[in-house]
Amino acid sequence: MISIYVENEVADKVKINSQILKKLSSLVFASESFNSGMVTYIFTDDNSLSSLKKRFLGLDVFTDVMAFNLEDESNELEGEVYISFDRVKDNAKTFNVDLEQEFKRVIIHGTLHLVGYNDKSSKEKNVMTKLENKYINQVPERLIKVWN
């Protein structure tokens, strides 16, 4: 079993339903044949996530999600997925999609990165998008509540 933890640094903006997040990410892990390890999802803001991107990738840009695979030589998955609430909110507006759906898509996207998928080429992006579409509606329960 994969232990899943949630840290919400933007609790003043959004409430994350940890049980639904665990259900969604567990679905992806199980479907991709990962069944032991530990993953933490950290919800943060643009400034925090862009600082991580600059520090670890040398890129000074905003991003919606970053995944860090921290496993050593063991067979267990260990990682962290950082998600910018600001970016996800802007993405939902830009792509004219429901904020709930965009949150789920970004969580799935980060989870897929953890289990080894990449999106550097258009072929890889297409594979990830198909997988996101496959998983996104399998957990219909509400994941978030946004404070106005």
Considering its fold, how many domains does the chain have in total? Answer: 1
CATH number of the domain where residue 68 is located:
3.40.390.30
The parent domain of residue 26 ranges over: 2-146
58-83: b (≥16 Cβ within 10 Å) or e: eeeeebbbbbbeeeeeeeebbbbbbb
Strand partners, 43: 8, 83
Q: Where are the alpha helices (DSSP H) in the chain?
A: 18-31, 46-57, 85-94, 99-114, 122-136
Cα distance between residue 51 and residue 24, in whole Å: 27
pLDDT by residue for the chain (148 residues), tens only, comes to: 899 999 999 999 999 999 999 999 999 999 999 989 999 999 999 999 989 888 877 777 788 999 998 877 667 899 999 999 999 999 999 999 999 999 999 999 999 999 999 999 999 999 999 999 999 999 999 999 998 6
Cα distance between residue 17 and residue 139, in whole Å: 12
